[in-house]
């Protein structure tokens, strides 16, 4: 494949945009080389400015659960746009999408929309502090909850990829109020509560971690968090910005039956347009302005185009067979990767949760940030570029989950596995030579 136009586009962007990108992981720093610039997408594929087409497993980092340019979503956005793009006043579409969220996500009794997942988590934390009258936060090393100050303490995702887990600009006071524990370490959580009795406003967790690669909770971990937070009087926040509607129709909480006090959402509920949301128990949400004293606002919150795309997407996800499709093709993909990696003698571990998947070039289970960081990132970078050359677009970082859509077919999966086999054969042939 040639990438001359992408290279030129990157040089142009670097002259006017810091690092040439508007979100750090897009810059390919973790895998080397220069990013490809995308022209258009359709279904499970997209095409770059050099006319190279790829099977896409990033899906805009999760939102495009129906694939690129899904007809129902496009029709909904066109219809909404014809009436105006923003009003700064309530619309009935906001209530309709809120009703769908409340119907599908078990713990949510009231919901407030915003414009990004970062806004959702920042607002949920402020609400938790206002509701409890406490200040401290417990989070997990490697979990990424957006770029709010309180969350960029031992963060995952782009912060991890770019080697700056604790960003400059975070004050000592913010850091002092953030307690970091290893994921899957219930004893560590219990010790954190014991060390700060009656001081923790909330514990926030990605119930299935997608931002240090895909890392699954061990049996009993989420239930243990529910017990510990309830015993201390702290709120449990599930960050389901990524897992919401992907692990199941009701997210991880819908699958496992463990209900948090607050839930943050985004990505899928906007159908590919910028959106975020946070919701939970009615008594907690009642503390939000204008009903209560905790202030939160946003000029474009409840944007009619995003609401229309979200409504169309959630309606589609209520149809029969959607999640069975994810189970079928997800198993086919992960089983295929396992077989190929094993055949070539590559140390690895794989994981899947609904329409999310991941793999690490690391022997043995990956249960937390420490084990994730033991992965062979150099091999991943070579593998990424080999797959890219063969028309498969994976996340450009070892520390990101992959995403499937309803548009991915068994044929797409089989092409992907064949590309992986060919890539590793070439890599190891070169190493032996």
pLDDT of residue 154: 64
d(CA 226, CA 301): 30
Strand partners, 215: 209
Q: Over 70: is that where the pLDDT of 160 sits?
A: no
71-317 maps to which CATH number?
3.40.640.10
Please state the rounded mean pLDDT for residues 302-321. Answer: 97
Active-site annotation holder among 48, 177, 232, 239: 239
Please state the rounded mean pLDDT for residues 81-110. Answer: 97
Q: Over 80: is that where the pLDDT of 172 sits?
A: no
pLDDT of residue 165: 40
Active-site annotation holder among 29, 139, 267, 382: 267
Count the neighbouring beta carbons within 10 Å of the beta carbon of residue 260.
30
pLDDT of residue 148: 81
pLDDT of residue 164: 38
- Architecture of the 4-69+320-432 domain: Alpha-Beta Complex (3.90)
Q: Note whether 392 and 57 are within 8 A (CB).
A: yes
The mean pLDDT value of the chain amounts to 94
Structure tokens at 276: 């975020």
Q: Do domains 4-69+320-432 and 71-317 have the same CATH topology?
A: no
What does the pLDDT look like over 245-273, one tens digit per residue?
Answer: 999 999 999 999 999 999 999 999 999 99
Q: How many helices (H) and strands (E) does the chain have?
A: 15, 14
Helices 304-317 & 92-104 angle (0-180, nearest 10): 30
d(CA 10, CA 14): 6
First to last CA, the chain: 24
Q: Over 60: is that where the pLDDT of 127 sits?
A: yes
Active-site annotation holder among 54, 57, 144, 323: 144
What does the pLDDT look like over 218-240, one tens digit per residue?
Answer: 999 999 999 999 999 999 999 99
Percent of the chain surpassing pLDDT 90: 88
What does the pLDDT look like over 94-105, one tens digit per residue?
Answer: 999 999 999 999
Q: Is 424 in a helix, a strand, or coil?
A: helix
What does the pLDDT look like over 271-309, one tens digit per residue?
Answer: 999 999 999 999 999 999 999 999 999 999 999 999 999
Q: Give the burial string for 203-215 (b: 16+ CB within 10 Å, else e).
A: bbbbbbbbbbbbb
57 belongs to the catalytic site: no
Q: Give the burial string for 332-362 (b: 16+ CB within 10 Å, else e).
A: bbbebbeebbeeeebebbbbbbbbbbbbbbb
pLDDT of residue 144: 87
Confidence of residue 174 (pLDDT cuts 50, 70, 90): confident
Q: Over 80: is that where the pLDDT of 163 sits?
A: no
Ordered by start, the domain boundaries in the chain are 4-69+320-432, 71-317
Q: Note whether 403 and 61 are within 8 A (CB).
A: yes
What does the pLDDT look like over 26-66, one tens digit per residue?
Answer: 999 889 999 999 999 999 999 999 999 999 999 999 999 99
Q: Over 50: is that where the pLDDT of 401 sits?
A: yes
Confidence of residue 147 (pLDDT cuts 50, 70, 90): confident
136 belongs to the catalytic site: no
283 belongs to the catalytic site: no
Q: Note whether 132 and 234 are within 8 A (CB).
A: yes
Write the DSSP assignment of 255-316 as a string of letters. Answer: HH----SEEEEEGGGGTTSS-EEEEE-HHHHTTBTTTSSB----TTTT-HHHHHHHHHHHHH
Q: Over 50: is that where the pLDDT of 179 sits?
A: yes
Q: Is 103 in a helix, a strand, or coil?
A: helix
Secondary-structure breakdown of the chain: helix, strand, coil percentages, each rounded to the nearest 5:
45, 15, 40
């Amino acid at each position: 494949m040639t990438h001359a136009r992408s290279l030129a586009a990157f040089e142009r962007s670097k002259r006017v945009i810091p690092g040439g990108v508007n979100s750090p992981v897009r810059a390919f720093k973790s895998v080397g080389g220069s990013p490809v610039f995308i022209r258009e997408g359709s279904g499970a594929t997209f095409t770059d400015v050099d006319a190279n087409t790829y099977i896409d497993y990033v899906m805009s980092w999760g939102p495009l659960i129906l694939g690129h340019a899904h007809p129902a979503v496009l029709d909904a956005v066109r219809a909404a746009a014809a009436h105006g793009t923003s009003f700064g006043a309530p619309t009935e579409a906001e209530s309709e999408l809120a009703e769908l969220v409340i119907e599908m996500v078990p713990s949510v009794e009231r919901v407030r929309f915003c414009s990004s997942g970062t806004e959702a988590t920042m607002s949920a934390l402020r609400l938790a502090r206002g509701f409890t009258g406490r200040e401290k936060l417990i989070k997990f090393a490697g979990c990424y909850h957006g770029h709010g100050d309180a969350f960029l303490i031992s963060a995952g995702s782009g912060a991890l990829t770019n080697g700056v887990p604790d960003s400059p600009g975070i004050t000592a006071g913010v850091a002092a109020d953030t307690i970091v524990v290893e994921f899957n370490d219930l004893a560590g959580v219990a010790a954190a509560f014991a060390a700060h009795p009656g001081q923790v406003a909330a514990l926030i967790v990605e119930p299935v971690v997608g931002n240090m690669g895909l890392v699954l909770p061990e049996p009993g971990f989420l239930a243990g968090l529910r017990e510990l937070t309830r015993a201390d009087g702290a709120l449990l926040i599930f960050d389901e910005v990524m897992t919401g509607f992907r692990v199941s129709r009701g997210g991880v909480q819908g699958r496992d039956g463990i209900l948090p006090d607050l839930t943050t959402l985004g990505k899928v509920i906007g159908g590919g347009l910028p959106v975020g949301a946070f919701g939970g128990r009615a008594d907690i949400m009642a503390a939000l302005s204008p009903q209560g004293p905790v202030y939160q606002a946003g000029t474009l919150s409840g944007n009619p185009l995003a609401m229309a795309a979200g409504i169309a997407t959630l309606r589609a996800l209520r149809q029969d067979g959607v999640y069975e499709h994810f189970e079928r093709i997800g198993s086919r993909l992960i089983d295929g990767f396992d077989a190929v990696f094993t055949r070539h003698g590559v140390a690895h571990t794989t994981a899947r949760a609904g329409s999310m998947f991941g793999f690490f070039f690391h022997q043995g289970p990956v249960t937390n940030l420490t084990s994730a960081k033991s992965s062979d990132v150099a091999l991943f970078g070579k593998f990424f570029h080999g797959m890219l050359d063969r028309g498969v677009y994976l996340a450009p970082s070892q520390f990101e989950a992959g995403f499937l859509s309803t548009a991915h077919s068994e044929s797409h999966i089989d092409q992907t596995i064949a590309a992986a086999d060919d890539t590793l054969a070439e890599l190891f042939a070169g190493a032996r030579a």
